[in-house]
Chains A and B, each alone.
Chain A
Amino acid sequence: QKEVEQNSGPLSVPEGAIASLNCTYSDRGSQSFFWYRQYSGKSPELIMFIYSNGDKEDGRFTAQLNKASQYVSLLIRDSQPSDSATYLCAVVTSGTYKYIFGTGTRLKVLA
């Protein structure tokens, strides 16, 4: 089992819909969780981070964390074609600073 798992997709949603991206992790000691967006040929850029159970909202983005079930999700409301990219989930485990990334989910927003 990989430490951080994501469905590779592609996930296709129509413009204006809600895109839901999921990530599960295996280490219960994980403390910090990050969502990065990566356009093709570009470097990852941070969308949100979360480290407490519950929801965290920032504009059209909501991150959700459930430590008991060991999953973290990202919701994108009112999806736009410009949101089409690969979304990477990154986890930091206790006592370390390094990110453990999932393989990423490719999102396609259809105009």
Chain B
Amino acid sequence: GAGVSQSPRYKVAKRGQDVALRCDPISGHVSLFWYQQALGQGPEFLTYFQNEAQLDKSGLPSDRFFAERPEGSVSTLKIQRTQQEDSAVYLCASSSGLVSYNEQFFGPGTRLTVL
């Protein structure tokens, strides 16, 4: 595709509901990242995939957060039993290579509001 796409763009959940956020990276991109961006803050790293392998999940804030990329392309970030503090924009980014100076291309984000 032309760029990274994410769906849904907006999600409103009641506290305690489970949500699933989808990311379609740029075709052929090996690396995929999830970030969480609170209002007025910079994005914060959540997790990183290289193909289907989740190599770093150190940023996931709790065991309610789970991410997968089973076939090395599309990724899903799942949040169980959502809490109000989970309200944020969730950004997905992909990168073509495996070196630290490869640019990450960001999707439009999913704005999650937990009531």
A→B interface (CB under 8 Å): 4, 6, 8, 31-32, 34, 36, 42-46, 49, 51, 88, 90, 92, 94, 96-104
Contacts and interface: CB of A to CB of B under 8 A. Distances in A.
Contacts, number: 64
A43 B103 contact: no
25 contacts: A31-B100, A31-B101, A32-B100, A36-B106, A43-B109, A44-B91, A45-B106, A46-B104, A46-B105, A49-B103, A51-B101, A90-B42, A96-B100, A97-B48, A97-B56, A97-B98, A97-B100, A98-B33, A98-B45, A98-B48, A98-B56, A99-B33, A101-B42, A102-B42, A104-B41
Interface residues of B, number: 25
A72 B86 CA distance: 31
A46 B103 contact: yes
Given A43-B91, A49-B101, A101-B42, A96 B106 contact: no
A34 B42 CA distance: 13
